[in-house]
């Protein structure tokens, strides 16, 4: 089995709640089509520890300078207070490189501001916390803004800060971690507490054990 790596960017003030559902359930993969296929590797501007919004200390596995899209299945960009400044500009450039290489990028909350500033939302359907928020980036994609929790368009996933489960669903779908009905069951269970969805996941795991 070939292991596919999902890279998640980490930096100071990272919004923990926005990406936890996606990363935890990439790793907790009993309901995946092929359990054990994916792993999550963290990427920082350097390998120095960062501090999240929740005051967790995270030591990146990899420095951004050593990240190659050819080694990745996806780059996940969490929100953070730093996106409106220049501190995370290197991740904007990384996002451009990934999309140019045909490797998907998923940004949530403030990271959508970075994707807009990188020019990746100028001609793609996308969302964010509000259209007015993205307008401050100076991008030219306002006509493609969609008022939805999460949107995928040509290898770019965007989501607002209030929709971690919708964001995760788009990530799982783009990675094809499982069949669409199983991904939807995961979403219905965790986003809407649907007990019938738990039964679907349990049955699938038992059948593929």
> Which residues, in sequence order, are CB contacts of 189 under 8 Å at separation 6+?
197, 198, 201
Question: Where does residue 25 fall: left (phi above 0), alpha (psi -120 to 50 degrees), or beta otherwise?
Answer: alpha
126-156: pLDDT as tens digits: 999 999 999 999 999 999 999 999 999 999 9
Predicted confidence band at 28 (pLDDT cuts at 50, 70, 90)?
A: confident
Give the integer Cα–Cα distance in Å for 173 and 187.
11
109-129: pLDDT as tens digits: 999 999 999 999 999 999 999
Residue 209 has pLDDT above 80, yes or no: no
Give the integer Cα–Cα distance in Å for 55 and 133.
26
Residue 1 has pLDDT above 80, yes or no: no
62-115: pLDDT as tens digits: 999 999 999 999 999 999 999 999 999 999 999 999 999 999 999 999 999 999
Q: Which residues pair with 145 in a beta bridge?
A: 126
Annotated catalytic residue 109: yes
Domains of the chain: 4-178 (3.40.50.880), 179-208 (no CATH)
Distance, CA of 24 to chain centre:
12
- Share above pLDDT 90 across residues of the chain, in percent, rounded to a whole number: 94
Quote the pLDDT of residue 149.
98
By the 8 A CB rule, do 126 and 153 touch?
yes
Q: Which of 10, 21, 105, 109 is catalytic?
A: 109
2-26: pLDDT as tens digits: 899 999 999 999 999 999 999 999 9
Mean pLDDT of 173-196: 97
């Amino acid at each position: 089995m070939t292991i596919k790596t999902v890279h998640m960017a980490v930096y100071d003030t990272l919004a923990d709640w926005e990406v936890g559902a996606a990363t935890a359930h990439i790793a907790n993969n009993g309901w995946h089509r092929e359990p054990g296929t994916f792993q999550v590797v963290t990427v920082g501007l350097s390998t120095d520890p960062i501090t999240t919004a929740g005051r967790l200390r995270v030591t990146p596995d990899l420095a951004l300078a050593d990240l190659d899209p050819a080694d990745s299945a996806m780059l996940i960009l969490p929100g953070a207070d730093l996106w409106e400044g220049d501190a995370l500009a290197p991740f904007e450039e990384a996002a451009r490189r990934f999309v140019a290489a045909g490797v998907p990028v998923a940004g949530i909350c403030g990271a959508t501001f970075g994707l807009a500033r990188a020019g990746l939302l100028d001609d793609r359907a996308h969302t964010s916390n509000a259209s007015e928020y993205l307008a401050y980036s100076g991008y030219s994609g306002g006509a493609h803004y969609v008022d939805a929790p999460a949107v995928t368009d040509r290898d770019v996933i965007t989501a607002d800060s209030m929709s971690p489960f919708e964001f995760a669903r788009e990530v799982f779908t783009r990675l094809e971690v499982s069949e669409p009905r199983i991904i939807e069951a995961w979403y219905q269970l965790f986003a809407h507490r649907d007990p019938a969805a738990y039964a679907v996941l349990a049955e699938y795991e038992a059948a593929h054990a």
